Amino acid sequence: MVIILALLLPLVPMPRPVPAKMHAAMPAVVDVTTSSEVHREPRGRIEQSAREETLPPIPAKKITERLDRYLRGRPGPVTAMVKELETGRVYRYRPRERLITASTAKVQILMALLLDTPWKKLPAAVRHDADVMIRYSDNHAADRLWLRIGGAAGFTRAGEKLGLKHTQGVPGDCLDLYCWGITRTSVEDQIRLMQALVSGKSPLGAKDREQVLGLMGRVVDGQEWGISAATCRGERAALKNGWLRRVSTKRWATISVGLIRGDGRDYAVAVLTEGSPEVWHGIATVEGVTERIMRDFRKCSE
């Protein structure tokens, strides 16, 4: 398609960054519910409820001012969101922006695949493609799975099942053109996608959610940058990053989405940027934004 060719270069291999600490795979989260007939809660649950009641509200204005100062002089649009899933505390930065997913779309491709066929029933070659698509960000594996889920139509249908509202697959003959990479999305949708990986109400089964989180928790050395920069000691990150250079502007889109988990809490995090002159500049922006938001959700112990 001429329009698509004008929009982007093929996704290029990621240069190897300075290695950071690896994050181990994370177990699935089991949702806990209490019966309305039970009048006395376990002690641990009462203590947890009391702790949540004492949590301070998120200072949205202060965070926005902090981000505005940090992003002044850094080119291109930025949108971000963090949600503490247990308490519902949330912060949004420029949520009306609609930016491209780049390789973060690979998480939705995998979830679409598993909505149709559970992991244990997939052929070995397909499971291998899923593994290298997430852990190595392999584009050819993503192309094959994109076709397997039915391309743009299957991608969009899966998004609707998962509760997404602003993410539509790009139609056309996109083999080797990475149509999935120029999918526009919102941070709200990316947070919904992360919630669907830990919620018992997700249309995705528990074992399949665990499989996706396991792959996101074991991305290869050199691709664990992004939201992981904001983890405290004892926390772990399950993430998928994306990077794409536009043909028209020669500028980079740099994205990181995932979960920060620890101390009994899950934080769904999404940071999308475009317009960086170099990919490393975009990575620094993503990490700087994440760190400046997360410091008001909890304090890291020394």
Q: Where are the domains of the chain?
A: 59-294
**Cβ–Cβ < 8 Å for 105, 242:** yes
* Residue 246, SS3 per DSSP: coil
184-199: pLDDT as tens digits:
999 999 999 999 999 9
The pLDDT of 149-154, averaged and rounded, is: 95
How many Cα neighbours within 13 Å face the side chain of 74?
Answer: 23
Of the options 3.40.710.10, 3.40.50.12280, 3.60.20.30, 3.40.50.300, the CATH number for the domain spanning 59-294: 3.40.710.10
Long-range contacts of 168-173 (CB under 8 A, 24+ apart): 170/4, 172/1, 172/4, 173/1
**pLDDT for res 178:** 74
Q: Are strands 236-245 and 265-276 parallel, antiparallel or unpaired?
A: unpaired
pLDDT of residue 173: 65
Buried b (16+ CB within 10 A) or exposed e, 50-77: eeeeeeeebeeeebeebbeeebeebbbe
Alpha carbon distance 255, 79 (integer Å):
10
Q: What is the pLDDT of residue 292?
A: 98
Nearest to 293 by CA among 19, 70, 102, 86: 70
**Residue among 287, 276, 202, 200 at smallest CA distance from 239:** 287
Residues in contact with 180: Cβ distance below 8 Å, sequence separation at least 6, in sequence order: 101, 105, 106, 109, 142, 146, 155, 169, 170, 174
Bridge partners for 80 per DSSP: 93, 271
Per-residue pLDDT at 244: 94
Q: What's the whole-number mean pLDDT along residues 223-244?
A: 97
CA–CA distance, 262 with 235 (Å, rounded to integer): 4
Both tokens assigned to 207: 């074992």
Beta pairing class for 252-262 and 265-276: antiparallel
- What pLDDT score does 264 carry? 83
Nearest CA to 158 among 101, 96, 105, 102? 105
Which stretch of 12-26, 66-80, 238-252 has the lowest confidence by average pLDDT? 12-26
7, 34, 39, 99, 138 from 43: Cα distances, Å = 57, 13, 12, 45, 47
Structure tokens at 16: 């190897």
Does residue 279 sit in helix, strand or coil?
A: helix
Q: What pLDDT digit, counting tens, does each position of 196-228 carry?
A: 999 999 999 999 999 999 999 999 999 999 999
pLDDT of amino acid 20: 39
Residue 28's closest CA among 183, 223, 209?
A: 209
For 90-149, the pLDDT digits (tens) are: 999 999 999 999 999 999 999 999 999 999 999 999 999 999 999 999 999 999 999 999
Give residue 118's pLDDT: 98
pLDDT interval class at 246 (50, 70, 90): confident
Mean pLDDT of the chain: 85
Q: What is the pLDDT of residues 50-94, one digit of tens each?
A: 444 578 899 999 999 999 999 999 999 999 999 999 999 999 999
CA distance 293 to 298: 10
The CA distance from 34 to 162, in Å, is 25
Q: Are 82 and 269 in contact (CB under 8 A)?
A: yes
